[in-house]
Structure 1
Amino acid sequence: MTRQSHPYLIVLLAAVIATTPLAVDMYLPAMSNIATDLHTHIGTVQQSLSIFLAAYGAGMLLFGPLADSLGRRPLAIFGLTGFTLSSIALALVQDAQIFLLLRASQAFCGAAATVVVPGFVRQLYQEHTAKGMSYLSMMMMLAPLLAPGIGSVILWFSEWRSIFIVLALYGAMIFALVWKWLPEISQPIAGNDDAPAGFFSGYKIVFSNRQARPMILSMMFGSFAFFCFITAVSFVYINYFGVSEQTFSLLFGANVICLILANFINSRLVTRVGSLRMLRCGLVIALISAFVLFLVNYLQLGLLWTVLSIAPLMGALTLMSTNADAIVLMKFPHHSGTATAVTGTLRFGSGAFAGPLLAYFYTGTAMPFALLMLSGVGAVALCQLWYWFVDKQPAPGAL
């Protein structure tokens, strides 16, 4: 399977992985409506987001090794089927606790579909995996850019249940395309005599790789900084700086456009300069931008300075994340599903800490947000120093 034989496969893969940001972001404008209709507190509905992320991470841990052992196409079909059925059930639910349970089911099944995608990208792009991941991210970023607006439009014409009907229709459409066009790219690794047996063997291989560990942690701390932005951005723009919801949507969209632009630049340059150099360029930009963001808030400068410091920071974070993912994937050709499970789980797991930490350090200003983002980027820098040190050392047993 090559890019030439399947020229539109990367678009289909982006559509598959977009199920998660669509399911996360499309219902956000309807949270208060859901709480009212299900006769529950808004906090209960907000918990559904944390439950979704936790179930998604758990699903990746389970389905990552299964993708390597059973094949990727069956898991994609299973995941999209479960995602679609869960979305239909969410449109019909009458009880808040059942709503939370179905959100977990939706996320768990969605993980089965999305965990297989990086393996396909690696097979398609081989040594240019970072370029393929950039294309994938660039297209996938359209989902969080459009999802809140789509949810708002649906609420304008209908009720919140229609949001989940739209998600079900999307899942069914992608299922049909996957059934017809998505090939299997590898035989189960169980058939490889050199592959160790056991469900957890893939995790042992991933975590025992000396060079992979600092790169995985780089991805994790970068994701922590990113989720600090996602968690705090509405407070910073709306509550602290007092912008309207419409202005907030424009500012949020501008940040997503920065992410798309960074992925486009990466796709143009990474084949010439390499993933590691692009990651480190992103790290330098992120360190400068995060420090500027800290100074802006320390000096209590205006909204414009905050926006101008966040924009390059978001682009730099996606440069680091995309290239770190590609480097990790290239190290595990026969365990790409497991490697994806590890990075995906740590990515969402680190994001889960953003909310509690922001709440713990809450001061009514944007300073905790700036400090936590700077801390995340600083931790990435330490991990890259670790990677540089490990890379200079001879492999165990080498003369």
Structure 2
Amino acid sequence: MKQSSTKTSLALILPLLAAIIAVSPLAIDMYLPGMPEITEYFSTKMPLVQNSLSIYLLGYAVGLLVFGPMADKYSRRRLVMIGLLGFIMTTLALTIAQNIEQFIALRFLQAFISSAATVVVPGIIRQLYGKDTAKGLSYVSMIMMLAPMIAPSIGSILLLDSWQMIFYVLAGYAGIVLVCSYCYLPDVKTVKSSASYSVIKRYKIVFSNRAARFDLLSIMLISLAFFSYITAIPFVYLTVFEVSEFEFSWLFGLNVFGLMVAHFINTRLVGRMGSRRMLRCGVVLSVLAGTSLLLANIFSLSLIFYVLAILPLMGSLSMISVNADALILQEFAEHAGTATAVNGTLRFGIGALAGPILAVFYDGSALPFALLMVVPVYLVLICQLLQSKQHKVAA
């Protein structure tokens, strides 16, 4: 595809890339309201059905490790087709599962194959946007944020028919994305290299890059804070502050909207300020907002103070994440898929620790949640100070 044609198609390509990435958030969130019905259907226990979510995340992480290096060697467009087609087939298979064991196994396969489609997206954006990668990532993330905002509501409506209808609709959505990708997604070529790298060599190159080390650590820590929010916020709002389910939905949606606003601001400013400065702005804001959240807990302040602290904190986390992603991708022109795989695996790996950590320190209050949001933010500040010092020494 010619460069001029690519530029004129960005308005179409970016929503399409967002739609591809949204497949996983929809697969995670749409079936959550149907868990009790799935439990009854398979005559099993709720923890087993809940484990299907953890298995999905595991399958997705394993898939990233497998397909990431392939995205640096083979056609990215072809991987999107394989990933979406495999996702459709496994999603339809879920509707005819005979027992919970089959259901869980299919969820693993569903996540594993879908990662083939999503792992290539950051690399495509990097090649389309170049030095403005953070701007492209912010646009895609801003559009994609609609998925987790509306997915539980869609799932609740579809449950009026059956839990299987959730997966029929999910397969239909993936089918539409597949057709659109076949018609409109350009075959953005991987960066050619004179050297031939094995999978092990590609991972070694990524992990041994000192320039990206502190940004990778920052992303891990931000992911821990983000998954802590996802894990604990229902307890904090519904149990600690005893808000209604309607109020919880409104407050949760407000924070998702805050994430979208942060991405929009990033698209407006990153071209002038650069990803590194925007990341540092996000770190400063996160430290201020995180400290405010901690103080709200220490002094047992009312709900409004929590809301006013969490809203900018979530926005700052997204600003740190998207700019760190862009800086990492810029370091690995020939290994964008591998870098994305490492990035995603570290995110999910550290994020999986949020639940166990919160369980260990559970005391019936919101303090463990606040600490697990704030401590990673302070550690990110240290990482970025060390990164700045390393850069000065290298210069």
- Superposition TM-score, scaled by structure 2 size: 0.97
The 1-side partners of 2:89 and 2:244 are apart by 36
Q: Does 1:154 align with 2:135?
A: no
Q: CA deviation at 1:188?
A: 7.2
**Deviation at residue 209 of structure 1 after TM alignment:** 1.1
Instruction: Tell me how large the CA RMSD over aligned residues is.
Output: 1.2
1:64 is aligned to 2:33 = no
Give the alignment partner of residue 46 of structure 2, picking from 38, 42, 46.
42
Structure 2 residue matching 1:70: 3-state secondary structure:
coil
Aligned position for 1:238 = 238
Find the counterpart in structure 2 of residue 364 from structure 1.
Answer: 364
**8 Å CA contact retained: 1:71, 1:188:** no
> Any runs of at least 4 consecutive aligned residues in structure 1 with deviations exceeding 3 A, and if so which?
none
Work out the CA distance in 1 between the residues paired with 2:196 and 2:382: 33
Q: Give 3-state SS (helix, strand or coil) of 1:330's partner.
A: helix
C-alpha displacement of 1:90: 1.0
Matched, 1:108 2:112: yes
Once residues 21 and 91 of structure 1 are traced to their aligned partners in structure 2, the CA distance between those partners, rounded to angstroms, is: 19
* C-alpha separation in 1, matches of 2:332 and 2:289: 33
Q: SS where residue 301 of structure 2 aligns?
A: coil
Q: Any unmatched runs of 5+ in structure 2?
A: none
SS in 1 for 2:197: coil
How many correspondences in the alignment? 391
1:178 matched to 2:165: no
Mapped to 2, the partners of 1:160 and 1:304 lie a distance apart of: 36
Instruction: Give the counterpart letter for 2:231 in structure 1.
Output: T
Q: Distance in 2 between matches of 1:369 and 1:169?
A: 37
The Cα shift of 1:6 comes to: 4.2
Q: CA–CA distance in 2 between the matches of 1:86 and 1:164?
A: 10
Show the counterpart of 1:3: 7
1:94: how far off? 2.4
Give the drift of 1:302: 1.4
- Look up the equivalent residue of 1:297 and give its one-letter code: N
1:258 match: 258
Alignment of 1:169-208 (within 5 A): 169-187=172-190, 189=192, 192-193=193-194, 195-208=195-208
2 CA distance for matches of 1:233 and 1:207? 33
Q: Is the 8 A contact 1:25 1:148 kept in 2?
A: yes
Q: CA deviation at 1:363?
A: 0.5
Shift, 1:394, TM fit: 2.4
What is the distance in 1 between the residues matched to 2:261 and 2:80? 29
Deviations 1:52-85 (A, max 9, x none): 1111111001100001011211111111011111
Alpha-carbon shift at residue 378 of structure 1 (Å): 1.2
- The 8 Å contact of residues 70 and 188 in structure 1, kept in 2 or not, is answered as no
Offset at residue 197 of structure 1 (A): 2.4
1:20 is aligned to: 24
Q: How does 1:212-231 map to 2 (within 5 A)?
A: 212-231=212-231
Letter in 2 for 1:89: A
- Render the CA deviation track for 1:263-294: whole Å, top value 9, x for unaligned: 00000000001111111111111011111111
Kindly state the Cα deviation for residue 196 of structure 1 after the two structures are TM-superposed. 4.1
**8 Å contact kept, 2:81–2:117:** yes
CA distance in 2, matches of 1:64, 1:197: 13
Q: Which amino acid aligns with 2:179?
A: A
Shift in Å, 1:134: 0.5
